Structure 1
Amino acid sequence: MSPFPPFPAASAVPAVTLADVEAAARLIAHAVPHTPLLPSRTLSRLTGAEVFIKFENHQFTASFKERGALNRLSALSETERARGVIAMSAGNHAQGVAYHAQRLGIPAVIVMPADTPFVKVKHTRDFGARVVLEGETVAESRLVAERIREEEGLTFVHPYNDPWVIAGQGTVALEMLADQPDLDILVAPIGGGGLLGGMAVAAKAVKPAIEMIGVQVGLYPSAYNALHGLPPCTGGATVAEGIAVKEPGDLTLPLLRALVSRIILVDETAVEEAISLYLSVEKTVAEGAGAASLAALLTEPQRFRGKKVGLVLSGGNIDPRIMASVIMRSLVREGRIAHLSIRIGDKPGQLARVATVIGETGGNIVEVRHERLTSDISVKSTDLRVILETRDHTHLAEILERLAAAGFPANERSFSGPAAGD
């Protein structure tokens, strides 16, 4: 029985079966590698679960999307291959289609939203596709793709609402259970639902007792709302743009309803923390959507504690600028980068004394400036603003204590607002 409440728009489960997924696995095996499923002792310790990570960022295009794309392209007739294909995508599906179309000698046109990360646009073009940047959202890009499809007689390759694509994505679960048959839970991100839907078909057929859990970001809870009978409510900038989908597919939604036990909504901070953990702990790169599964464990650790949990790290195509921002924001949250406001007398030697105290306490000054025009201090004083590196929050507290003992009371400031207590 479905764990979700009755919903009048629910339809019959589409005909995607274990046999379809197994056929896809055989068909794509020569070109899509069986990626590693590895245990993570550190993440297991942090979450209380026994965590195994499926590294789909090890695919040539750094995403699971190759699986469904190749399975769909392989189903084209000779006439369809000659005319070519078109797809709309925020990036990973685009690269999967473009790469395998190039391998198979099939012309490909990819329509991408205008603000798609540069790295994804570049990689798609490098695979030989004609890229059209048009539309503010994937939904708007879909309309552009439909127009071009009609004008040029191309075959549309949908990113998730296609039985061949769903079956191809389901091969992720087959590999995970082949490598670790005793997994209790599989966790995967949900955009349109093709990945988790296909995985659920395969996993539930191979191991009926396994629990399937999906993850969405709070700004785009499209499948969550649909399955709970809530009105659509999506929008906003998210670091997980790969799953920023306004509605699930009419083929994927029934699969989620029938086979998935829960969808966890995660916020942007949890996704950023997951990206940072993958980099610092696993020494691997995850994009926002790729890190969503780990974000679910960080958000609801009690649900997974004591269980063997397989996480799908679904992709690693993150813009370097976004990655740099995520790293810096993570350092701030951990207390390893701090912004201090220190009141000192405006006379020679004060800055040197402050620097000495910080240095002797093990802090490293990254940036310093004087604020002499602040209206609430004496004209004979200055507000010293210092950005420094520390080991953690405890170390930062020690530095603040030592500064106060030396006659330099300091406040920690937000990087976007006033000092605490101002």
Structure 2
Amino acid sequence: MKLENLQRTGSFKIRGAFNKISQLTELECKRGIVAASAGNHAQGVALAGREKGVQVTIFMPKNTPDSKVDATREYGAKVELTGESFDEAYEESRRYQKRTGATFVHPFDDSTIIEGQATVALEMLQQNPELDTVVVPAGGGGLLAGTALAIKLVRPDIKVVGVQAASAPAIASAFHQLDKSLIPFHSTIAEGIKVKSPGVYTTQIIQSYVDDMITVSEVEIAQAILFMLEREKMLVEGAGAAGIAALLGNHLQADRAHQVGVIVSGGNLDVAKLEICRQTIKEDQKRKQRSSFIL
């Protein structure tokens, strides 16, 4: 497991944010930075902006966990809570950018951001050259696109598998060429990868370099979160647990996956969600018991 939950700011997002902001011009910095985020990109941009001495404004959905909002403010950014999803916060951040002329730092659909995220995969190959499969959670697709590019350019024999929540499977649905009108977009424990409209650039890369896309249920994500807490003694958020859920749920082809690397993308979980995880699992068990009784 590549534990990006132990990364500074609690997720891999700091990689892309620092890579992008370190390359901004003096004029771009002077205009200030604006970004939209479900929480983790916000913290990476806030910290990178503070290190660069740049004013940062972040737009986040109203339902963003308090832990992510508070951390972003502590890193010095101004936070605007708006909309019910990342996509709504993104639209508002774009309107703000047009009004003010601020420099926009996209959370995933940016080549410099993708380059920064790709460093995760390069480190994994250095740490375990025997990997034959890498499992990556995906929302907007920045981490998955960066991982796929890095791995396929260095080790094209390694299989790259993307994972999304079944409640919000935009990239997986596009990858498998499913009817857009049938793609669900519901609430999920993995709010960090709940993105209705993934990046255009990231989607192109994913379709060209990723080997497979799979989805995991809310129950499987909840089980993975509790597994990590109880067995590994680590607090992992829903998005970060998605890849682990794919393994625990036996979604990989066992005959092809022997040395598997899983990116645990983040650990910024609102502890109140632990009870939601337990309740989700209990309700699933009750449904199975009722079904068994009927049969």
- Regarding TM over 0.5, the answer is yes
Q: Is the 8 A contact 1:297 1:304 kept in 2?
A: no
User: TM-score when scaled to structure 2?
Assistant: 0.92
Higher helix share: 2
Q: 1:255 aligns with which of 205, 214, 219?
A: 205
Listed one character per residue, the Cα deviations across residues 19-44 of structure 1 (whole Å, up to 9, x for unaligned) are: xxxxxxxxxxxxxxxxxxxxxxxxxx
1:294 pairs with 2:244: yes
- How far off its partner does 1:334 sit? 11
Secondary structure of the equivalent of 1:187?
Answer: strand
Secondary structure of the equivalent of 2:8?
Answer: coil
Report the equivalent of 1:92. 40
User: Equivalences for 1:175-254 in 2 at 5 Å?
Assistant: 175-232=123-180, 233-254=183-204
Cα root mean square deviation, aligned: 1.9
User: Equivalences for 1:69-84 in 2 at 5 Å?
Assistant: 69-84=17-32
Letter in 2 for 1:72: K
- How far off its partner does 1:137 sit? 1.4
Secondary structure of the equivalent of 2:198?
Answer: coil
- How far off its partner does 1:150 sit? 1.5
Q: 2:274 aligns with which of 317, 323, 342?
A: 323
2 CA distance for matches of 1:143 and 1:256? 24
Give % identity. Answer: 44
Q: Is the 8 A contact 2:175 2:213 kept in 1?
A: no
1:312 pairs with 2:263: yes
Letter in 2 for 1:93: H
**Unaligned runs of at least 5 residues, structure 2:** none
Q: Is the 8 A contact 1:186 1:212 kept in 2?
A: yes
Q: Is the 8 A contact 1:204 1:210 kept in 2?
A: yes
Q: Is the 8 A contact 2:87 2:197 kept in 1?
A: no
Do the aligned partners of residues 302 and 212 (structure 1) sit closer, same or farther apart at CA in structure 2, a change above 3 Å counting?
closer
- How far off its partner does 1:87 sit? 0.3
Letter in 2 for 1:317: N
1:265 pairs with 2:215: yes
- How far off its partner does 1:160 sit? 0.3
2 CA distance for matches of 1:119 and 1:269? 23
Report the equivalent of 1:276. 226
User: TM-score when scaled to structure 1?
Assistant: 0.65
**Unaligned runs of at least 5 residues, structure 1:** 1-52, 336-412
Structure having the higher Rg: 1
User: Equivalences for 1:152-171 in 2 at 5 Å?
Assistant: 152-171=100-119
Q: Is the 8 A contact 1:234 1:246 kept in 2?
A: no
User: Number of residues paired by the alignment?
Assistant: 287
1:141 pairs with 2:92: no
Letter in 2 for 1:214: G
User: Equivalences for 1:22-61 in 2 at 5 Å?
Assistant: 53-61=1-9
Secondary structure of the equivalent of 1:290?
Answer: helix
Do the aligned partners of residues 309 and 94 (structure 1) sit closer, same or farther apart at CA in structure 2, a change above 3 Å counting?
same
Q: Is the 8 A contact 1:223 1:248 kept in 2?
A: yes
Report the equivalent of 1:3. none
Secondary structure of the equivalent of 1:291?
Answer: helix
Letter in 2 for 1:316: G
Letter in 1 for 2:97: R
- How far off its partner does 1:136 sit? 1.5
Do the aligned partners of residues 147 and 312 (structure 1) sit closer, same or farther apart at CA in structure 2, a change above 3 Å counting?
same
